[in-house]
Structure 1
Amino acid sequence: MMNKIKNVCVVDDDELFQFVMRQHFERLELVEKIHKFTDGEQALNYIKQNLNKPDNLPDLILLDVNMPYMDGWQFLREYVKLSLPAGKQIKVYVLTSSTHESDLQRAKEFPFLAGYLVKPIGKNIIKEILTELLPA
């Protein structure tokens, strides 16, 4: 059996984008569970609730920056305060439809970010990201 990534969180208020991402993930068959959140706070709460259950924590977070309620930047500011279980690696990619220089600069405030992805994101990009995460 091929290795699979256990948990992926897609944090985005765009239903269509969520749908398309789910389809990419399902077709690639590299992910066991896809968790869908429509704002940063939902995602943050999920992570907080599972800090003592590393198996439920995401291995990958795709985070939209422009969301109502709690946006991606606010999420990241709270996320850095969390104490993740030792050895738990979570890759966080910021997603945006903006190519504004200001957003690129803001992303630099969070050196742990794995990358900055501009929408639309195709299956090939998803595949690259997942392949990097898979244990060799």
Structure 2
Amino acid sequence: MMKKIKTICIIDDDPIFRFGTIKMMETVQLSLNFLVYKNGKDAYDQLLPKLQLNTNLPDAILLDLNMPVMDGWQFLDELVKISMAENIPIYIVSSSVDNRDIKKAKTYKMVNKYIIKPFSIPKIKELIEELENQD
């Protein structure tokens, strides 16, 4: 059965990436909601109550690695402490092509995939299809 994707969380400090990703995602699937945060700390502070109540959780998180305040790795390190968070697939979306980053991402159970920027409509279609087909 296909899962309906309703909410995507974007954690990225780049306003152009955030804007472009939302526009492309809306092109692929019209009825999406977005939770958008500029850094891991804002995202964590806002997502924590949702996780604790297990309510209004995003269907996926698109996570940048290099951000001010709290970067993607620090965000993941906080998130792994919360058992409910294991149910949210995380996609690292980074401009880093460093193999160490890609390897490190694989050490987190909750990270589904490492996607190298820039995003494109085909990459987004693939991501949404993958999310819809998860059980």
Deviates more, 1:12-21 or 1:40-49: 40-49
Deviates more, 1:44-53 or 1:125-134: 44-53
Runs (5+) with no aligned partner, structure 2:
none
Question: What's the CA shift for 1:30?
Answer: 5.2
Query: Over aligned residue pairs, what C-alpha RMSD do you find?
Result: 2.1
CA distance in 2, matches of 1:55, 1:42: 18
Q: Which position in structure 1 is the counterpart of 2:10?
A: 10
Where 2:91 maps in the other structure, the secondary structure is strand
| Amino acid of the structure 2 residue aligned with 1:34 | F
Structure 1, residues 29-56: CA drift from partner, whole Å, max 9, x if none? 2553111100001111222111254341
Query: What TM-score, normalized to structure 2?
Result: 0.88
Contact 1:4 1:32 in 2 (8 A): no
Where 1:5 maps in the other structure, the secondary structure is coil
Question: What's the CA shift for 1:112?
Answer: 2.7
Alignment: residue pair count: 133
Where 2:87 maps in the other structure, the secondary structure is coil
| Amino acid of the structure 1 residue aligned with 2:50 | N
Query: Percent same amino acid at aligned positions?
Result: 39
Q: 1:120 aligns with which of 108, 118, 128?
A: 118
Question: What's the CA shift for 1:67?
Answer: 0.3
1:134 counterpart = 2:102? no
* Bigger helix share: 2
Q: 1:89 aligns with which of 87, 90, 97?
A: 87
Q: Which position in structure 1 is the counterpart of 2:79?
A: 79
Deviates more, 1:105-114 or 1:116-125: 105-114
Residues 1:21 and 1:132: Cα distance change in structure 2 (over 3 Å) = same
Where 1:121 maps in the other structure, the secondary structure is coil
CA distance in 1, matches of 2:55, 2:32: 12
Runs (5+) with no aligned partner, structure 1:
none
Contact 1:62 1:95 in 2 (8 A): yes
Query: What TM-score, normalized to structure 1?
Result: 0.87
CA distance in 2, matches of 1:11, 1:79: 13
